[in-house]
Amino acid sequence: MSRTKIFVIHLKEIIYTAIFAGLGILLILLLIIMFLNKKDDSAPTMATPKYTPGVWSSSILINDTSLNIEVVLDEDHINSVRVVNIDEAVTAMYPLIEPALDDITEQLEDGVSLDSITISENHKYTQQLLLDAVKATIAKAEKVTPDK
């Protein structure tokens, strides 16, 4: 005759086994997620600044008169552009300088990139002259990033 074997399992043992099995599965899942989801850590976490902050200036020569273009920069954007020490005679001789520069400044403050500035037909030569001066001024302030 065969003998019937009776196993006695306590509820406490079942609960402990289920808890440890669940923790084991959770630990294995966490290890898999940790090691498989490696992203490229070589990418910098912070954006590198484009400009050296400060007030930068350059001058342009218009008929023996020097105009000083002043550009105020933060690390990543252009705050303002203006003409400093402008003579009244220059303003009278070239009345489109200030409106042309105001148009450029307004576009830069709206977040338009320096290469995407639209030049109006009303004063395109004056704006192009001023835009070239602004680009030359900003070129002085651009940070050099080493190539990897």
Mean pLDDT by groups of 10 residues along the chain of 148 residues: 79 93 96 79 63 88 86 86 84 87 87 85 88 89 63
Question: What pLDDT does 148 receive?
Answer: 46
> Quick check: is 122 in a domain?
yes
Question: What pLDDT does 26 receive?
Answer: 97
Q: Where are the beta strands (DSSP E) in 2-102?
A: 54-62, 65-73, 78-84
Q: Please name the residues in contact with 84: beta carbons below 8 A apart, sequence gap of 6 or more.
A: 57, 68, 69, 70
Question: What pLDDT does 108 receive?
Answer: 85
> Quick check: is 131 in a domain?
yes
Residue 55 CB: number of other CB atoms within 10 A? 13
Helix 124-141 / helix 97-109 crossing angle, nearest 10 deg: 50
Residue 68, strand partner residues:
59, 84
Q: How far apart are CA 73 and CA 138, in angstroms?
A: 8
> Quick check: is 42 in a domain?
no
Three-class SS state of 69: strand
> Quick check: is 93 in a domain?
yes
Number of domain units in the chain: 1
Question: What pLDDT does 142 receive?
Answer: 81
Residue 106 CB: number of other CB atoms within 10 A? 12
> Quick check: is 21 in a domain?
no
> Quick check: is 47 in a domain?
no
Question: What pLDDT does 48 receive?
Answer: 75
> Quick check: is 41 in a domain?
no
Q: How far apart are CA 82 and CA 67, in angstroms?
A: 10
Q: What is the CATH number of the domain that holds 96?
A: 3.90.1010
Domain that holds residue 136: 54-141
> Quick check: is 88 in a domain?
yes
